[in-house]
């Protein structure tokens, strides 16, 4: 994360005119690559994630991002099923489901960027993904 996103963050703010916080896109891309590597090594064919359609305003949960993420999995012959949580349409269902899996409802609090975002335009997200994927591949591959 440090070499892919954090060392680039100041330059990214300048390049994008301080209009959006796209570091979450880098984080989710890194997670996709690591999940893909793990799935390939362990024989997993399907990957599920916790995106929900109601959260499309987050840059890392837009269709633009989900398409790029699915392409990462497809390279290794994996299928990613997303969005997974559309049935969770209210906070109580979300908390109950998370607790059922042994996951607390405060997971994002450990991220210093949690809940600090601006809506990003599709072109900004695509440009950022195009810049970030080669950095991730250099680090991981």
Instruction: Say what the pLDDT of residue 72 is.
Output: 92
Contact 65, 125 (CB under 8 A): yes
Over 33-82, what HEC string results?
Answer: HHHHHHHHHHCCCEEECCCCHHHCCCHHHCHHHHHHHHHHHHHCCCEEEC
* 110/42: higher pLDDT: 42
* Of the ranges 6-20, 104-118, 121-135, the best mean pLDDT one: 121-135
Instruction: Say what the pLDDT of residue 84 is.
Output: 65
**43 burial class (0-12, 13-18, 19+ CB within 10 angstroms)?**
exposed
pTM of the model: 0.73
Whether the per-residue pLDDT at 7 is higher than 80: the answer is: no
Structure tokens at 35: 């999940």
Whether the per-residue pLDDT at 42 is higher than 90: the answer is: yes
Number of Cβ within 10 Å of residue 101's Cβ equals: 6
Whether the per-residue pLDDT at 18 is higher than 60: the answer is: no
pLDDT tens, position by position, 55-76? 777 888 888 998 999 999 999 8
| Terminal-residue alpha carbon distance, the chain | 15
Contact 136, 33 (CB under 8 A): yes
pLDDT tens, position by position, 86-125? 666 777 877 787 788 787 666 555 666 766 666 778 888 8
d(CA 30, CA 47): 15
């Amino acid at each position: 994360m440090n070499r892919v996103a954090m060392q680039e963050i100041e330059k990214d703010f300048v390049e994008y005119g301080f209009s959006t916080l796209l570091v979450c896109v880098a984080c989710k891309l890194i997670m996709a690559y690591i999940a893909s590597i793990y799935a390939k090594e362990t024989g997993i064919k399907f990957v599920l994630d916790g995106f929900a359609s109601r959260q499309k305003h987050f840059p890392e949960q837009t269709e633009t991002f989900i398409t790029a993420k699915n392409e990462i999995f497809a390279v290794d012959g994996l299928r990613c099923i997303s969005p997974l949580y559309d049935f969770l349409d209210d906070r109580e269902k979300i908390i109950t489901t998370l607790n059922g899996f042994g996951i607390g409802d405060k997971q994002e609090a450990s991220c210093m960027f949690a809940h600090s975002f601006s809506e990003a335009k599709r072109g900004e997200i695509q440009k950022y993904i195009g810049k970030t994927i080669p950095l991730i591949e250099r680090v991981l591959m």
